[in-house]
Amino acid sequence: MSCLFCDIVEGKIPAQIVKKDDHVVVFRDIQPQAPTHVLVVPTKHISTINDLTGQDAAIIGKMVMAAQEVAVAEGIDESGYRMVLNCNKDGGQSVFHIHLHLLGGRTMQWPPG
């Protein structure tokens, strides 16, 4: 089955890559919702957060640490930022390869829409 984010991880589809290592790829969202809006994607294909198992716990840790590193690099660590994981229809998930949104550079609203 084809997967957009697997294709980006494998370099088959271009993206503005911010960081890449063996475990995660970070790239800019094509429709940014904030001055900084990047997606942190594990190199391993996992469809939704529901599909995570205990063995994937380290992956989530690496995703959050990558987002923290990019927040510093983007200069939004002190002003603040938001990390978001959407799951399935009600969560607003549109790409079924898990991804952590890192948004910052403006004041976020609460509650989210």
Q: Residue 96 interacts with Zn ion (CB under 5 A)?
A: no
- Count the alpha carbons within 13 Å of 109 in the hemisphere toward its beta carbon: 5
Residues in contact with ligand 5GP by CB under 6 A are 4, 15, 27-31, 39, 86, 92-95
Binding partner of 42, given Zn ion, ligand 5GP, none, CB within 5-8 angstroms per partner class = none
The residue ranges of DSSP E strands in 1-113, in sequence order, are 17-20, 24-28, 36-42, 81-84, 100-104
Catalytic residue at 99? Answer: yes
* CB closer to ligand 5GP out of 68 and 93: 93
Alpha-carbon gap, residue 86 to 72, rounded angstroms? 23
By CB atoms closer than 10 A (0-12, 13-18, 19+), residue 14 is exposed
Task: Kindly give the pairing relationship between strand 36-42 and strand 24-28.
Answer: antiparallel
Per-residue interface string for the shown chain with Zn ion, residues 30-49, x marking contact by CB under 5 A: ---------------x----
Among ligand 5GP, Zn ion, none, what does residue 11 contact (CB within 5–8 Å per kind)?
none
**Which of ligand 5GP, Zn ion, none does residue 9 bind to, with CB < 5 to 8 Å depending on kind?**
none
Which residues are part of the catalytic machinery? 99
